Structure 1
Amino acid sequence: MIEKINFHINELNSMKKYPKELFCIGNKNLLNKRKVSIVGSRKPNLYAQKMTHLLSQGFAQRDMVVVSGAAIGVDSIAHKAAKAENTIAVVANGLDIRYPAINKKLIEEIEQNGLMLSSYKKGEKARNYSFVQRNEIVVSLGEVLIVTYADEKSGTLSSINYALKMGKKVYTIPHRLDESIGTQKLLEKGLIEPIYCIETFLNSFCSIEKKDDELTNYLKTHPKYEDAISKYASKIFELELDGTIIVENGLVKPIF
Structure 2
Amino acid sequence: MSVIRDKITELLSMKSYPEKLFYDGNLELLKRTKISIVGSRKPTQYSRTQIQKLSSLLSKNGVCIVSGGAMGVDALSHSGAGASNTIAVLPCGIDVRYPAINKNLLEDIAKDGLLLSQFDAGFKATPWSFVVRNELVVALGDALVVGEADIDSGTMRSVEFALKMKKEIFVLPQRLGESEGTNKLLKDGKAKAIYDMDEFVAMFSTTLKGKNSSIVEDDFLLYCSKNPTYEEAMKKYQNRVFEAELNGEIKVVNGVVIRLT
Using structure 2 for the length normalisation, give the TM-score: 0.80
**Matched AA of 2:95:** D
> What CA distance in whole angstroms lies between the structure 2 residues aligned with 1:41 and 1:241?
21
Higher RCO by CA contacts (8 Å cutoff, separation 6 or greater)? 2
Q: Matched residue of 2:132: which SS?
A: helix
Q: Look up the match of 1:202.
A: 201
Asked if structure 1 preserves the Cα contact closer than 8 Å seen for 2:63 and 2:204, the reply is no
> What CA distance in whole angstroms lies between the structure 2 residues aligned with 1:149 and 1:241?
21
Residues 22-66 of structure 1, C-alpha deviations (whole Å, 9 max, x = no match): 000011111111111011000000111111011100111111110
Using structure 1 for the length normalisation, give the TM-score: 0.82
User: Is 2:199 the counterpart of 1:166?
Assistant: no
Q: Look up the match of 1:77.
A: 76
> What CA distance in whole angstroms lies between the structure 2 residues aligned with 1:64 and 1:244?
22
Q: Look up the match of 1:8.
A: 7
Q: Look up the match of 2:177.
A: 178
Q: CA deviation at 1:195?
A: 0.8
Asked if structure 2 preserves the Cα contact closer than 8 Å seen for 1:240 and 1:246, the reply is no
Residues 90-110 of structure 1, C-alpha deviations (whole Å, 9 max, x = no match): 001111111000100000000
> What CA distance in whole angstroms lies between the structure 2 residues aligned with 1:60 and 1:188?
29
Determine what percentage of the aligned residue pairs are the same residue: 45
Q: CA deviation at 1:115?
A: 0.3
**Matched AA of 1:7:** D
Q: Look up the match of 1:107.
A: 106
Q: CA deviation at 1:243?
A: 2.6
Residues 96-146 of structure 1, C-alpha deviations (whole Å, 9 max, x = no match): 111000100000000100000000001111111110010000000000000
Q: CA deviation at 1:174?
A: 0.8
Q: CA deviation at 1:241?
A: 6.1
Structure 2 regions of 5+ residues with no counterpart?
Answer: 207-226, 234-239, 249-260
Aligned ranges 1:84-95 → 2 under 5 Å: 84-95=83-94
> What CA distance in whole angstroms lies between the structure 1 residues aligned with 2:190 and 2:145?
13
Aligned length: 220
Q: Matched residue of 2:174: which SS?
A: coil
Q: Where has structure 1 moved over 4 Å in runs of 4 or more?
A: 237-242
Q: CA deviation at 1:240?
A: 7.3
Structure of greater Rg: 1
Asked if structure 1 preserves the Cα contact closer than 8 Å seen for 2:78 and 2:86, the reply is yes
Q: Look up the match of 1:67.
A: 66
